[in-house]
Amino acid sequence: MTGLRERKKEQTRQRIAAVALRMFAERGFDAVPVGEIAAAAEVAKATLFAYFPTKESLALHGVGGDDLAGIVAARPAGLTFLDALRAHYRAFTAERVPEADLGALLVRIRVIQGSPALQNAASALLYRQRLALAEVLAEAYGPTAAALLAAQVAASLVTLQEVYFRRLLDGVRAEDAGRALAEDAELAFGLLEHGVAHAKGH
């Protein structure tokens, strides 16, 4: 029964997100009230907010980034934080966006790029992720070094995402864009671990 309930909840979440994305694409993020999204998705406004706490989270669904702090905190003993993140992103980049999902992803990217409010929300989300990562690293490295390390990691990962999305928007095939993302991720983690010397030798 619990499994069925969870599946129904996920179906509701996906339906709300799909309806919101369609409306945002048609009219623009700022022009669509949350109440209209709830009505179109056939849920109460309170139900919508139970799944998505803000209007911005509706548009950022699926592209909001990873829980960097959680990945680092849960790493096995003896594994460095960079190796834990590298392993996570190797697994992530090994997956390919299904062709059936590619259209929706491109629409979502365009919606985000077309709204200053969404761009600010995405930046705020990344900032919170960076702070959380710095907090996890602080015990081992001290607060200042942890903040600097977290900033470098966050900047590298958001750049990887931006380059990947730009390729997709430019018409690069999803398979080719995914392959390039995997190569870029290896370069990024090499730079994080070894610095400028790695860039010169790459």
Both tokens of residue 119? 């761009």
- The span from the first CA to the last CA of the chain, in angstroms, equals 53
Question: 72 with 149: CB under 8 angstroms?
Answer: no
Choosing from 61, 82, 102, the residue where a domain stops is 61
84 and 174 in a single domain? The answer is yes
d(C-alpha 25, C-alpha 12), whole Å: 20
Choosing from 20, 43, 61, the residue where a domain stops is 61
Nearest Cα residue to 162 out of 175, 181, 179, 149: 181
51 and 67 in a single domain? The answer is no
Choosing from 45, 61, 77, the residue where a domain stops is 61
97 and 169 in a single domain? The answer is yes
Question: 18 with 24: CB under 8 angstroms?
Answer: no
Question: 6 with 27: CB under 8 angstroms?
Answer: no
31 and 100 in a single domain? The answer is no
Question: 63 with 112: CB under 8 angstroms?
Answer: yes
92 and 56 in a single domain? The answer is no
Handedness of CA 64, 189, 156, 174 (dihedral sign): negative
133 and 165 in a single domain? The answer is yes
Residue 96, classed as helix, strand or coil, is: coil
169 and 126 in a single domain? The answer is yes
Q: What is the pLDDT of residue 138?
A: 96
117 and 100 in a single domain? The answer is yes
Q: What is the pLDDT of residue 193?
A: 92
Residue 177, classed as helix, strand or coil, is: helix
97 and 34 in a single domain? The answer is no
Q: What is the pLDDT of residue 201?
A: 54
**How many distinct structural domains can be found in the chain?**
2
Both tokens of residue 137? 């690293």
93 and 3 in a single domain? The answer is no
Domain range for 161: 62-202
176 and 107 in a single domain? The answer is yes
Q: What is the pLDDT of residue 4?
A: 80
Q: Which residues contact 21 (CB under 8 A, 6 or more apart)?
A: 58, 59, 104, 107, 108, 111
| H-type alpha helices, 28-173 | 34-40, 45-51, 55-60, 68-73, 81-94, 99-113, 116-141, 143-169
- pTM, entire model: 0.82
90 and 13 in a single domain? The answer is no
Q: What is the pLDDT along the chain (202 residues), one digit of tens a residue?
A: 667 888 899 999 999 999 999 999 999 999 999 999 999 999 999 999 999 999 999 998 777 667 999 999 999 999 999 999 999 999 988 887 777 778 888 998 999 999 999 999 989 889 999 999 999 999 999 999 999 999 999 999 999 999 999 999 999 988 899 999 999 999 999 999 988 666 555 5
